[in-house]
Amino acid sequence: MSEGDFALVVIDMQRDFLEPGGFGETLGNDVSLLRRVIAPLRAVLAASRAAGVPVIHTREGHLPDLSDCPPAKLLRGAPSKRIGDPGPMGRILVRGEYGQDIIDELAPTPGELVFDKPGKGAFHATGFGDALAALGVSRLVVTGVTTEVCVHTTVREANDRGYDCLVLEDCTGSYFPEFHRTALRMISAQGGIFGWTAGSAAYLQALA
Ligand code: TIU
């Protein structure tokens, strides 16, 4: 993997998805299932930073007045709390709240780009696409949660926009282990219909 032509993208490693009392748990999920992503992703972040790879983080979340949250998203499902309701980590999935921020273990360093996004994909209603264009990269190494929701939405759109995507298998995760496995297969099936997948060990080896 030649350096200088790719960025590391870390999707939604937020307390709202990984810690009790946040959005993920209000949807009925066991948030502990995502924690296995943290250690390998910490290693990937450290090695990427050391190699000078640009790192971009995203956070799903909404404006305090929820004007960027479509009614369909606000009303969907039968969550124990809805987006914007008060929870133990602040208002659920609202920008600026403690729960909406990235977990301490993977906190961005000064200078790393962080995009708040109202949707599942990183491109919709954000400056993510412009940031990639400014960086001049054509390839993305994609990590984060959840594999079949925000990672997939982002990878599918990135693929349409002409980016080659490599999704790191152990640095992505789902509340549904079978969805995780299948989502990864869906990316690389048919000769790489949306991109490719690999374990973080291969990425670290290629960086070294
Ligand atoms: N619920 C779920 O699996 N995911 C999300 O709502 N957002 C992200 O994937 N970040």
pLDDT-based confidence at residue 1 (cuts at 50, 70, 90): very low
> Is the predicted pLDDT of residue 7 greater than 90, yes or no?
yes
Catalytic residue among 117, 120, 165, 171: 117
Q: DSSP class of residue 187? A: H
Cα distances from 70 to residues 13, 55, 66, 76, 83, in angstroms, run 22, 29, 8, 10, 11
Nearest to 143 by CA among 60, 40, 27, 31: 40
Residue 27 Cβ inside 6 Å of ligand 1? The answer reads yes
Rg (CA), the chain: 16
Digit-coded pLDDT (tens) for 103-131: 999 999 999 999 999 999 999 999 999 99
Predicted local confidence at residue 3, as pLDDT:
52
Q: Separation of 50 CA from ligand 1 center, angstroms?
A: 29
Predicted local distance difference test score (pLDDT) of residue 77: 82
Set 69, 150, 165, 171: catalytic member: 150
- 171 is annotated as an active-site residue: no
Structure tokens at 114: 């962080």
126-161 pLDDT, tens digit each? 999 999 999 999 999 999 999 999 999 999 999 999
Give the predicted TM-score (pTM) of the model.
0.97
With a threshold of 0.90, tell me whether the complex ipTM lies above it: yes
- The verdict on whether 12 is a catalytic residue reads yes
Indicate if ligand 1 lies below 6 Å from the C-beta of 116.
Answer: no
Residue with tokens 């748990």: 25
